[in-house]
Amino acid sequence: MSATNPAAGSHDLARLRSARAFIFDMDGVLYRGDDPLPGVSDLLAAIQRRGADYVLATNNSMASPEQYEGRLAVMGLNVPASRIQTSGTATRDYLRQHLPAGAAVYVVGMPGLKEQIHDIGGFAVAEPAEGVSNTAAVVCGLDQTFTYDKLKAAFFAIRAGAIFIATNIDSSLPTATGFVPGAGTIVAAIRTATGVTPTVIGKPSPEVLIQAAHELGATPAETVMIGDRLDTDILAGNRANILTAMVLTGVSSMDDITESEAKPDIVVAGLPELRQLLEDGQPAL
């Protein structure tokens, strides 16, 4: 395990260099806040030179793929929306598989998530109230305008029989100025109020990674997950039997690995070190 440790496993390095598909987390891996992290463009170019492909997969549901495309462009990163998967798009697809068209869904989240569920997904806007039972699902993501009234609406809908879905349960979110509470804190409030555990769509669910690999024409054995969080990115990769590479530019640290259920196959300081491993096959000392 690791490029920061010279004893990187030769099998892991071989899998890295032969990989056909790369899945990148975004926050804490490609950028922090509005600032790109070093080595992003060089690594993406190196992947494509090798004839491999990549997709960006974030647990953040606050923006649409098109909005992320624009945000990345401002940072000098040209990634089309077609290469960007959010927990909001994954949740939309999940609802389409499990609910009838036009079903009423109550969304606790930002406009980007509501756009995926209502405008693109085609689900009706629900307005839950005490004694009203026409809401099919409650979807919760990170909501920077979360209020007690929203908590009550979710409570009434779930207690009346609506299914409870979380886009992700991240406890924190890295920003340019430090960490802030993540969607998991809001999910926890609704779970505590209702006593109902949600279905979690984003990482650490392995399905989102397996689907991403499939869309890139690769098997899990031919895929690499690159992330900064042990409890989401790396755990999802472990569960999907995908090679995992953890960068130390985001949430988790080397010290966290000892106590974690999730174990990365490779650990690097950042993306430049990962590119060196990919191209040279040798630890970056």
Question: Known catalytic residues?
Answer: 25, 27
C-alpha span between 259 and 83 (Å, rounded): 33
C-alpha span between 133 and 46 (Å, rounded): 53
What are the E-state strand segments in the chain?
21-24, 31-32, 35-36, 53-58, 84-86, 104-108, 124-125, 137-140, 163-166, 172-175, 178-181, 199-200, 223-227, 243-247, 266-268
Residue 207 vs residues 10, 87, 211: alpha-carbon distances, Å: 28, 12, 6
C-alpha span between 142 and 175 (Å, rounded): 14
**Would you state the structure tokens that stand for residue 56, as one six-digit string?**
């960006």
Q: Residue 131: which region, alpha, beta or left (left: phi > 0; alpha: psi -120 to 50)?
A: left
Reading across the β-sheet that carries 137-140, which strands appear in turn? 124-125, 104-108, 137-140, 163-166, 199-200
- For the beta carbon of residue 159, count every other beta carbon within 10 angstroms: 15
Contact 274, 43 (CB under 8 A): yes
Q: Which of 31, 26, 57, 60 is nearest to 183 (CA)?
A: 60
C-alpha span between 151 and 171 (Å, rounded): 18
Q: Which of 253, 261, 279 is nearest to 4 (CA)?
A: 253
Rounded to an integer, what is the distance from CA 43 to the centroid of its chain?
19
